[in-house]
Chain A
């Protein structure tokens, strides 16, 4: 067959590449499809694609979820808007790159002893605080100690529970000594609670001042309202193209989206999924729909009847039509769950056969368990996820086909996570994104974890979890996580219908790189340092 060169298609592709609307991989695919040779396509990409991002401008980001009572104390960071703010003016030892790999930030390199019990982080020589002082080992130790010890009120206390000692090696490096092996420690350092903040003379961390070593320095902060920043000249990494950044808290979805449409802000951190189809029609907006590691889970307490029977659990897992939930509740912006808490957006994701909606098999499992005509309560609150109650009602409709009666119990939003979660036999929960499967499993699936939300205690799973923690060989770890995922899927007590995407948007004149980090909305909450205004 003769290859026809589709010039119109190629021109459009070149335009798309120029405006940064297309990734290199898609560009190559389409160009070759349009009749170009691979080498010509590479050349065209090089000449048309956005070269160096341009500098300048004041970037205004409309952020959701802010509260007047937010503070600069990283130990109590809890709102999404503070996560955006933190990544704008503070810096962490390591960071998640747009392609999902682990990259250097304040730490320029790191290494472990073979038993993964001691990790040494070398501090970037160029890293400075906005006050001008260099980042020292002392600052790193003070920043970590802020979350450790009896007196600490930090929400990240559990994360660093394994750290026994922090040692200043005297050569601008810090060694973390762990009580038990942890191959994921460098990943843990990306946690938003753990920025590097300057140390006081007495060794405590000075979080109150608002000084940081991130890409921008804070010029004003009115909590729950807005924050302004200007570029920190001499920041130790590439990027920070904007001259100034403003984070404006816009809690109301309508206000947020209107502000974007009218150009009062340049980007927003979250869109309401219901209006996604309408916003897509606006030619001035570009929408980013990024699969994330956040998850909706429905843990059943496996020590409580009827969930103590694995066949009942699996029958319930088979009685949900996940595709329909994604289509109707998440408006398509989610990736399907497979009943193990390991999203495709996390490293080491195992591709295990997808569990399908199969009421007949569910029925036969119930028969085997002697639990025909099963009736169970499912607790949920509106605040769990937009449309959470509808989601559970839809689930109960699906389950009818398997002869299961699910009573959806609507609980109050207030106190849901203290009175319902971990207490009611079956409830719906939303989990934020965690960087690695180990962190997720250790938090909520390990037998003695405080938040073991299904009280599932599988010895083999826990043995593997312990082994994988100490395994520095990636291939071996991936194999362990595959086995653990299979165990959680087929024996565990948690139904995972889907992993919701991060859906956010920007004005057409805002450009970003080929990939977007999946850890937080807006490129891992680093839009301020990674994005730019098109020339």
Chain B
């Protein structure tokens, strides 16, 4: 166990370094964008005169490096600063939206992960059958279609034609959980369709890979029923690659939802990021990107820890 804790500690330290590098890259990328905040805020209607006034008010007259270090010194004490445009603290601007994104990701994950793994086991069991082919074609079709297209198809049938679910997922205060689940069902379903194929096929491949092993042959020869061979003997050894793929897809559910948010008008963090980039609102862009980066780092770490915990050889190294 001590090894795992050591590994987690080391990886978290490395993660912080990665975050620092990312924050530098993001800062200078935002700097490279043509135009600046003052122009983006005042739009076409800006004159040199009030651009200058606004730049001064926003502190843009200082050199880039000074602004970055100013932000960094705040960030290390968990003060991510305030939006340059609205002067609101970044935390209050994106906190609620991040919660919304997490909710949608969790909603989709709760459906997608069990469905994908169970389907994966079933198609491994019934491989090369009609069921296998249909499941593969269906999931590959959905993963190959762009998300917004899937979203539009779902809207066309579920809201325009059958009127079962609302076409837009705008949230309001005081919604019951039932209402919330109904309102956000279509975006969640879209995300499910996008991520299921990857996880399902990885489960299938990992299991089929193992089916050629001698110990599976042994289990078969002693008369174990096929489903038990897979669930009891093959699956435990297949967890490592499956966990990795699940982690990757969970990260995608959080960081890759911008298109789904736009199609369903869901107030998540992706839209906040797009808006912030178009306004060159550096602290908000920075916070969103760091959240995304941290999501990837943490989920990857979780996947590695998971892989170790499910593998006795790694758990008890000689």
Contact = CB atoms under 8 A, between A and B. Distances in A.
Interface stretch (B108-116, B165-173, B212-220, B234-242): B165-173
Interface string A223-243: 111101000000000000000
Interface centre among B86, B155, B173 (most CB of A within 10 A): B86
B275 interface: yes
A225 B267 contact: yes
B263 A68 contact: no
A261 B53 contact: no
Contact of B41 (A78, A223, A258): A78
A151 B42 CA distance: 15
Contact of A415 (B35, B45, B166): B35
Interface in A222-278: 222-226, 228, 248-252, 254-255, 258-259, 261-262, 264-265
Interface in B162-187: 163, 166-168, 170, 172-173
10 contacts: A76-B42, A220-B173, A226-B172, A248-B265, A249-B265, A252-B263, A258-B167, A414-B33, A414-B35, A418-B35
Interface stretch (B4-12, B63-71, B276-284, B308-316): B276-284
Given A69-B276, A421-B44, 12 more contacts: A68-B276, A69-B279, A78-B45, A153-B57, A155-B45, A157-B50, A225-B267, A255-B263, A258-B159, A262-B167, A415-B34, A418-B39
Which 7 pairs across A and B sit closest by C-beta, in order of nearness?
Answer: A415-B34, A415-B35, A68-B275, A69-B85, A78-B43, A153-B54, A258-B167
A450 interface: yes
A262 B159 contact: yes
Contacts of A418: 34-35, 39
B29 to A, nearest CB: 13
B264 interface: yes
Chain B contact patch, size range: 35 or more
A418 B45 CA distance: 11
A252 B44 contact: no
Contacts of A152: 50, 53
B271 interface: yes
Contacts of B275: 67-69, 224
A95 to B, nearest CB: 21
A419 interface: yes
B49 interface: yes
A151 B52 CA distance: 10
A69 B159 contact: no
Contacts of B279: 67, 69
B43 A251 contact: no
B167 A259 contact: yes
Nearest to A158: B47
Chain A contact patch, size range: 35 or more
B53 A151 contact: yes
B25 interface: no
A262 B264 CA distance: 13
A210 to B, nearest CB: 13
Contacts of A248: 168, 170, 265
Nearest to A443: B45
B160 A258 contact: yes
A412 interface: yes
A254 B35 contact: no
A52 to B, nearest CB: 31
A155 B42 contact: yes
Contacts of B159: 258, 262
Contacts of A157: 47, 49-50
A264 B186 CA distance: 15
Contacts of A70: 86
A414 B34 contact: yes
B190 interface: no
B152 interface: yes
A180 interface: no
B94 to A, nearest CB: 9
A153 B265 contact: no
Nearest to B44: A417
Given A258-B160, A262-B159, A71 B263 contact: no
Interface centre among A153, A228, A254, A419 (most CB of B within 10 A): A153
Contacts of B276: 68-69
Nearest to A450: B47
A155 B162 CA distance: 47
A351 interface: no
A247 to B, nearest CB: 11
A473 interface: no
Contact of B35 (A69, A228, A419): A419
Contacts of B166: 262, 264
B272 interface: yes
Interface in B254-276: 262-265, 267, 271-272, 275-276
A150 interface: yes
Contacts of A414: 33-35
Nearest to A431: B44
A250 B53 contact: no
Given A69-B83, A158-B47, A414-B34, A259 B57 contact: no
Interface centre among B46, B93, B160 (most CB of A within 10 A): B46
A100 to B, nearest CB: 23
B288 to A, nearest CB: 11
A153 B50 contact: yes
Given A223-B86, A248-B265, A261 B160 contact: yes
Contacts of A150: 53
A44 B56 CA distance: 64
Contact of B163 (A67, A154, A262): A262
A254 B167 CA distance: 10
Nearest to B48: A450
Contacts of B42: 76, 78, 153, 155
A69 B86 contact: yes
Interface string B17-61: 000000000000000011100010111111111100110010000
A262 B265 contact: no
B207 to A, nearest CB: 40
Contact of B34 (A158, A224, A251, A412): A412
A63 to B, nearest CB: 11
Nearest to A257: B167
B226 to A, nearest CB: 46
Interface centre among A67, A68, A412, A419 (most CB of B within 10 A): A68
